[in-house]
Amino acid sequence: MAGAAEMTSMQWIGLWVLGTAIGLAAQAVPPDGAGAAPGPQLIPRSKSQREARYAALHRTLLNLQVSDASGHAVPGLTAQDFTLSIDHRPQKVTSFSAIQDGATAKAHAFLMIDMLNNSEPDLAHARREIEKFLRSAKGPLPVPTSLATLTDNGIEAGKASRDGIELARELALIPKNAHPTDCTEDWQNAALGIKTTVMSPGDTTVRNKEVAAERIGNCLNNKFQHSLLALRDFAHHQQAVPGRAILIWLGPGWPVLLGPAFVPDTPHVRENDFENVVELATELREGQVTLDAVSWPVSSPVARLDPAELTILMRGTPTASQASASSLAMPVLAHMSGGQVYLKQKTLAAALSACLADASTYYVVGFDSVPAAQADEFRTIELTVDKPGVTVRTTTAYYAQP
């Protein structure tokens, strides 16, 4: 089993880490400089052009929610009301916008129906809750909203609308079950979590359990890969789309790949997990994507993270030595993106309303990131407002580059 888990980890690395090798061919210099290619030419730029180029490379934008003690949005704030700190050091705010109408600011919400990771009963529950929410909406939704689906082919989003009834009709047209397999259908039969050995060549029961465990481990790893690749592609696409995106992901999300079915993380695997955390966090931030994690009590044991571990993971992953597959769990990425995390919700209407409200009234703060001494330098972000009973929620950290 250890060999199989290591193999699937290597498959994951090969699929996820993308690189481009560029070969530079040497050119012979003609004698006496005849016909020699001209040397590199400096491109003259004005001060405003230089400043614009620097901003394009280092300007960091943060979408943030400001709430009072009752959870209601606090409007009417100015740049002077905010204090920004990076790694606990004051940072100058270089741009500021107060968004009073997300629709006018081209904000867009997506209700993600996860057909890849949800079981049939959980998928049916999600559809019922979404339909109930959409049909009970009083008036237009806060911002244009699309129904999105995740399958093993990636994320597909429908037409945006602010009409809940129209979206409910569209929901009815989405296939009720498009995910290929349920990896956990015979989780207990595979005896995962129980150390077993083959007593004799004729002991086929244990061998069958080991084969089942290996199959389930590979299945979970494939779902892990497909889900995160789809999320990355979605966030990358949003970089070319004006406005903010609120991605409301319903269900427990992709597997967290914990337990005896998977080998302990090697330094090489941790390094790749860290690279994936950096890439996903960066794509989400640059695409102005806020990821919300909305789930309910589910039966699958592979979807759960220990609450104490989750609290630690939400502090961020500063270095490769601290990275693991758990660093990529959906609630962890959601928290880091400034999103909301609702776990074990019996009904989803209140959570969906709260997530959509984020796209209605919010602030956008920009600052110029100081170049890092080395690649992927972890930096914490803290934004506060000097008013009693007011809280700010935004991206919690980013990875600075030289």
Q: Tell me: the pLDDT tens digits for 82-122?
A: 999 999 999 999 999 999 999 999 999 999 999 998 888 88
For 102-177+224-359, CATH number out of 3.40.50.300, 3.40.50.720, 3.40.630.30, 3.40.50.410 equals 3.40.50.410
C-alpha to C-alpha distance for 216 and 225, rounded to whole angstroms: 14
Q: Does 366 score more than 50 pLDDT?
A: yes
CB-side neighbour CA atoms (13 Å) of 67 = 14
Half-sphere exposure of residue 90: CA atoms within 13 angstroms, side-chain side: 3
pLDDT above 60 for 39: no
pLDDT of residue 152: 85
Asked whether 220 and 257 are in contact (CB, 8 A), the reply is: yes
Rounded CA gap, 226 and 152, in Å? 6
Rounded to 5 degrees, φ, ψ at 146 are -120, 145
Single out the residue of 125, 162, 130 nearest to residue 146, CA to CA.
Answer: 162
Domains of the chain, residue spans: 58-100+361-402, 102-177+224-359
**More confidently predicted of 31 and 159:** 159
User: Which region, left, alpha or beta, applies to residue 185 given φ > 0 means left and ψ of -120 to 50 means alpha?
Assistant: alpha
Mean pLDDT of 226-246: 96
For residue 17, what pLDDT band results from cuts at 50, 70 and 90?
very low
How far apart, in whole angstroms, are the C-alpha atoms of residue 144 and residue 2?
A: 47
What does the pLDDT look like over 171-180, one tens digit per residue?
Answer: 999 987 665 5
- Nearest Cα to 161, choosing from 358, 356, 348? 356
**Collapsed DSSP state (helix, strand, coil) of residue 402:** coil
Instruction: Find out whether 155 and 233 touch, Cβ atoms under 8 Å.
Output: yes
Whole-angstrom Cα distance, residue 244 to residue 236? 13
What is the third-level CATH fold of 58-100+361-402? Immunoglobulin-like (2.60.40)
What is the layout of strands, in order, in the sheet containing 245-250?
154-157, 145-151, 108-114, 245-250, 289-294, 341-342
**DSSP SS3 for 29:** coil
- Predicted pLDDT at 264: 76
Question: Whole-angstrom distance between the N-terminal and C-terminal Cα of the chain?
Answer: 41
pLDDT at 193: 42
Average pLDDT of the segment spanning 383-398: 95
Q: What is the DSSP letter of 71?
A: S
Res. 335: pLDDT tops 80: yes
Look at residue 243 and give its three-state secondary structure.
Answer: coil
Q: What one-character-per-residue DSSP string does 44-67 give?
A: ---HHHHHHHHHHHHEEEEEEEEE
Lowest mean pLDDT among 73-82, 164-173, 199-208, 262-271: 199-208
Pairing state of beta strands 89-90 and 82-86? antiparallel
Cβ atoms 99, 362 nearer than 8 A: yes
Per-residue pLDDT, 136? 93
Q: Which residues contact 230 (CB under 8 A, 6 or more apart)?
A: 150, 154, 155
Read off the pLDDT of residues 264-320 as tens digits, 9 standing for 90 and up.
Answer: 788 998 999 999 999 999 999 999 999 999 987 765 444 567 778 888 999 999 999
What is the distance between the alpha carbons of residues 383 and 391, in angstroms, rounded to a whole number?
A: 9
Residue type, 146: S
Is 22's pLDDT higher than 60? no
Torsion of Cα atoms, 306 then 310 then 312 then 317, to 10° = 130
Share of the chain above pLDDT 70, in %: 74
Range with lowest mean pLDDT among 4-18, 228-242, 387-401: 4-18
Whether residue 204 is predicted with pLDDT greater than 60 in this model: the reply is no
From the number of C-beta atoms within 10 Å of its C-beta (0-12, 13-18, 19+), residue 13 rates as middle
Q: Is the pLDDT of residue 63 over 60?
A: yes
For residues 341 and 293, the answer to whether their CB atoms sit within 8 Å is yes
pLDDT band at 190 (very low <50, low <70, confident <90, very high): very low
d(CA 108, CA 146): 8
Return the biggest CA–CA distance within the chain: 82
Residue 323 CA to residue 259 CA, distance in Å, equals 16
Query: If you average pLDDT over residues 45-62, what whole number do you get?
Result: 69
| Listed range (238-252, 275-289, 301-315, 335-349) with the worst mean pLDDT | 301-315
Please state whether beta strands 89-90 and 95-99 pair in parallel, antiparallel, or not at all (unpaired): unpaired
Name the pLDDT band for 356 (thresholds 50, 70, 90).
very high
Residue spans of beta strands (DSSP E) within 54-118 = 59-67, 82-86, 89-90, 95-99, 108-114
Residue 18 pLDDT more than 70?
no
